[in-house]
Structure 1
């Protein structure tokens, strides 16, 4: 199944020609995948003013091989689309990020985690090969065996090395439904002990947690099942994160489990007055609920946000080494004090090459806890919580995604991220700097 490979080749040739046309113009360039961006909207973000390279047509699945459990697809395919197609074969991607509109290419270029990450890492860890159009307009393929540095540096490059045009990745077996258990705890130590035990035993397909407050912890454990005695839905009137306090178990279809956070965009819908009430959801939910709708509305408000000069809310993922998570959480509960907090155990098989050796040594663990902070207000002129949380994460030997506001000086940034590896990949793929550098792109706003 899939598209004619010649149609893909035609699109790649068009993109390569467009990039060659940009060489030497000395003007900012950005990759335009179409749809909504999952970068956090920032007031007056100048990245939107750069000239686009249109890759919006790269939205096709090229092939699915059920026997080898391998899929080849273009980067603009969303996880909602790929799950629907692969599930017909009893297969799904190894890691399925929680928002329907996240694309395969976005998951590689940025960050991709979910409740299988305690065993399988991120989506990028399941990838086998990438096809890239370089800043020279050349088509390059890379893998673990062929150009391994380029292969590993594409992850976390945020579109600054080249245009990802095709990717090949592994699939894993799946079943139609997921049975969920919600185990509640009042003490952090008990919650941590159970989460660690379950991760070590690997006796559940899915493990994540929702911390509703300093004394309210829920460990969410999931297993694939063939049959379900009932099915819950959190697509419209009901709210998933609240259900974890109300129910001890639940059954969802496999797609509804994967995208259980999508309707609220985790819990960002609560920032809109009345949007968590059933009457408002009944009347307006189809138009405004869901990550794509909510992000689109946020983008429309960008000019207003810039006008009043309000800092954006804190929305970012912070990866803290497991052994430092108790210390981090003690600080978080006392000083940061924002709930719910989504926590996802994450296994990093080895430090990624884009992490500097100096910082990798500070990590000291292959297991991390991703602390997903979504929506803390940040308008107090006395304290910038985005900067405070960034500094605390690095103090704990952790690392953060770059999808939101970043506060490093250039020297600080390159003590955490590997300058030598990044520059080697840049020289190989984009020696004439058609694309912005990683630091420059991700630090254009304070």
Structure 2
């Protein structure tokens, strides 16, 4: 029954795309919920007619023995974990915000503290079902139409509509034990990070840098029992706890979404919202990434009138071999903390990376430096552009979720234009969806 309902919904979506194509219209994909791209002044990314795929948000099948799940793209990771964790299984990569969808994790670039082992969520996928810009339903995998399978990753809704995903699950215990290792200098910190990644003794590795000489490695393991559990869902604040504790225990679900309550540390930008009394009184209405992002989107026109530019929200992937160069610059100039750092091992070189960029990166172990909420109002200095340029100078790649400043030439020295164009011709021959460069370079 569920499979038949899914098929009917997909064919309805495909028929709508064919109708839009026959009219020569360009469209965008409306997955429902909140967008996890950063709202921009004068943003036109979502002003074209929408293809509504919000009904595609269910688990279709879980194979407990094979440790596989088949699900629709609008399923949030919160709902996915709630479905699999009672079976002792979880996705191999669970992004840190509850409202991120599994389709969004593929179309974007979702990483987390297991990425030092497996890469991104897309690397755990085996099969994707797509509706092309011609209204064709296409199933692809690494064995079948492998270029399409790979190029949908990081395509941000510019190639096709994801309608079904099949992906790995891994065993999980009820709790996660966290150990915090403190370093005073970046040399020992990033060396230890690499050593732990290569040793493979932990299921989870990430870090929070609270200041130039206050660098915390967060090392996690699944455990069957816990002497206590900490709760950072409402009154207490996770990122602050990493400065004070040596060891901590969280329920597995709470560990996955440990940054969700604050949307990393967005709550500190709202006066009083880190106060326990205020949180007790109004927390259920404003705390949590979905609430905070929804409020941010509602206030975007007002904030856009007040602020010269939106705050910086960006992930910067720097090869580990260049991380000391990047961090040395970061500690001298932007000096914005906390800084979230996540080791990310590329399981293979992605075909959307140009051959020149592959040579430039060199090291398959990257460090994602996640800058969230840095003020950017200096009329003489646009930090968004500075981060983009500095990341490239250190042989790295930035995500495209916010403001982008690349020339077309620079952009396609990083991204493989030939592979993207080949996928575009196959999946969107009539240009129903915007191109990748066109969609993501309206900086406002």
Deviation of residue 26 (structure 1)? 3.9
Q: How does 1:124-273 map to 2 (within 5 A)?
A: 124-273=122-271
How far apart are the structure 2 equivalents of 1:383 and 1:224?
44
Q: How does 1:336-375 map to 2 (within 5 A)?
A: 336-375=334-373
How far apart are the structure 1 equivalents of 2:163 and 2:353?
24
Q: How does 1:250-399 map to 2 (within 5 A)?
A: 250-308=248-306, 310-399=308-397
Deviation of residue 309 (structure 1)? 5.1
Q: Which secondary structure does the structure 2 equivalent of 1:379 belong to?
A: coil
Q: Which secondary structure does the structure 2 equivalent of 1:181 belong to?
A: strand
Kept in 2, the 8 Å contact 1:124–1:155? The answer is yes
Cα deviation, 1:91-136, whole Å, max 9, x if unaligned, reads 1111000000000000000011111101110000000000000000
Structure 1 equivalent of residue 97 of structure 2: 99
Q: Which secondary structure does the structure 2 equivalent of 1:48 belong to?
A: coil
Kept in 1, the 8 Å contact 2:304–2:310? The answer is no
Moved more, 234-243 or 185-194: 185-194
How far apart are the structure 2 equivalents of 1:257 and 1:27?
44
How far apart are the structure 2 equivalents of 1:51 and 1:362?
39
Deviation of residue 193 (structure 1)? 2.3
How far apart are the structure 2 equivalents of 1:55 and 1:301?
26
**TM-score (normalised: structure 2):** 0.99
How far apart are the structure 1 equivalents of 2:28 and 2:18?
14
Deviation of residue 363 (structure 1)? 0.3
How far apart are the structure 2 equivalents of 1:365 and 1:16?
41
How far apart are the structure 2 equivalents of 1:306 and 1:262?
25
Which of residues 65, 69, 72 in structure 2 aligns to 1:71? 69
- In the alignment, structure 1 segments of 5+ residues that lack a partner are none
Deviation of residue 236 (structure 1)? 0.3
Moved more, 285-294 or 39-48: 39-48
Kept in 1, the 8 Å contact 2:403–2:442? The answer is no
Q: Which secondary structure does the structure 2 equivalent of 1:99 belong to?
A: coil
Q: Which secondary structure does the structure 1 equivalent of 2:249 belong to?
A: strand
Q: Which secondary structure does the structure 2 equivalent of 1:306 belong to?
A: helix
Structure 1 equivalent of residue 401 of structure 2: 403
Which of residues 431, 440, 443 in structure 1 aligns to 2:441? 443
Deviation of residue 192 (structure 1)? 1.7
Cα deviation, 1:12-66, whole Å, max 9, x if unaligned, reads 0110011011114344311000110000111221112111100000011000000
Deviation of residue 306 (structure 1)? 2.8
How far apart are the structure 1 equivalents of 2:442 and 2:243?
40
How far apart are the structure 1 equivalents of 2:38 and 2:425?
29
Structure 1 equivalent of residue 120 of structure 2: 122
Deviation of residue 368 (structure 1)? 0.3
Deviation of residue 308 (structure 1)? 3.1
CA RMSD of aligned residues (A): 0.9
Kept in 1, the 8 Å contact 2:307–2:377? The answer is no
**TM-score (normalised: structure 1):** 0.98
Structure 2 equivalent of residue 23 of structure 1: 21
Q: Which secondary structure does the structure 2 equivalent of 1:301 belong to?
A: helix
Kept in 2, the 8 Å contact 1:29–1:52? The answer is yes
Cα deviation, 1:161-194, whole Å, max 9, x if unaligned, reads 0100000001111111000001111121221222
Structure 1 equivalent of residue 78 of structure 2: 80
Structure 2 equivalent of residue 434 of structure 1: 432
Deviation of residue 336 (structure 1)? 1.2
Q: 1:309 to 1:282 in 2, by over 3 A?
A: closer
Q: 1:388 to 1:202 in 2, by over 3 A?
A: same
Moved more, 92-101 or 308-317: 308-317
Q: Which secondary structure does the structure 1 equivalent of 2:46 belong to?
A: helix
Deviation of residue 445 (structure 1)? 2.6
Structure 1 equivalent of residue 58 of structure 2: 60
Q: Aligned residue pairs: how many?
A: 444
